[in-house]
Structure 1
Amino acid sequence: MAKVSIGLDAELVVEVMVLAGIGSPQDAVEAVVRDYIARGHRTEARTELKDRTLREADATPQEPQG
């Protein structure tokens, strides 16, 4: 996997390390990024299921009203 080097504010990284309980700055930031991506995938999965259910309900022929 390709590596990317970025600069971050030291206070921000220390905060992440403390909250995550991880001693390595790189590991702590990587854990946060991986969690962010996982949350996005979970959100997509939930909204996709809801959207599919709504589309199926709209596609069902409705009985005439009147």
Structure 2
Amino acid sequence: MTKVTVSLDSDLAIEAMLLSGTRSPQDAVELIVRDYLATGRRTEARTGDAADAHRVGQGRPATEEG
């Protein structure tokens, strides 16, 4: 896998290390990015995407008020 170098403000790197519980800024950023991506995939799996829009709103009977 190709490596990428990213420069961060030291305060941001320390904050990431504290949140992730790591001693290395590189490990902290990697863990946070992996978690962010995994969260996005779980959300897509639960809510679907634009191609699933045909399932919402069709087939429901109209509610009678009165």
TM (norm. structure 2) is 0.74
Superposition misfits of 4+ residues, deviation over 4 angstroms: none
Structure 1 gaps of 5+ residues are none
- Larger relative helix fraction: 1
Q: Which runs of 5+ in 2 are unaligned?
A: 62-66
Tell whether 2:26 aligns with 1:26. yes
Matched to 1:46, the amino acid is R
SS in 1 for 2:4: coil
User: Superposition RMSD on alpha carbons, in Å?
Assistant: 2.5
Structure 1 length normalisation: TM-score? 0.74
Number of matched pairs: 59
